[in-house]
Amino acid sequence: MRIRVCISSLAVPLLVVAMLFASGKGSIVNAQQAPPAVEVKIDNFSFGPVAITIPVGTTVTWTNRDDIPHTVVSDDKVFKSKVLDTDEKFSFTFTKAGTYPYFCSVHPKMTGKVIVQ
């Protein structure tokens, strides 16, 4: 009895993997068509990850998870968010390769970087 239980508990994940493979082709095609997206979280007066490297065309979304408002402002004035209160988001799509340092204009010790390749 014990062996049977083990086999059946193994069988379930195997089945799931098999189903993923079966539908895998379509999923990959969809992923290629959808624009790439990356998340940056603001926690404890820091951007995380502090530096990201992304392909051209990626949309980066920043989410403020602090109790204090922050902003996301490019050093070179390429992008500039309005003030973000708790849980508010700001998104920007990077269409040109380059390095984009940015900071919080309210708390300028908070800095981050987006590298677009």
Q: In the range 31-50, which residues lie near another protein by CB under 8 A?
A: 44-46
**What is the rounded CA–CA span in Å between residue 28 and residue 21?**
11
Piece of 8-16, 28-36, 50-58, 106-114 that binds another protein (CB under 8 A): 106-114
Q: Which is nearer to another protein, 85 or 117 (CB)?
A: 85
Q: In the range 47-66, which residues lie near another protein by CB under 8 A?
A: 66
The amino acid at 47: F
Pairing of strands 111-116, 51-54: parallel
Asked if 48 and 41 touch (Cβ cutoff 8 Å), the reply is yes
103 binds another protein (CB under 8 A): yes
Asked if 55 and 31 touch (Cβ cutoff 8 Å), the reply is no
Runs of H (alpha helix) within the chain: 2-33
89 binds another protein (CB under 8 A): no
90 binds another protein (CB under 8 A): no
Chain contacts with another protein (rule: CB under 8 A) = 44-46, 66-69, 71, 75, 82-83, 85-86, 101-103, 105-109, 111
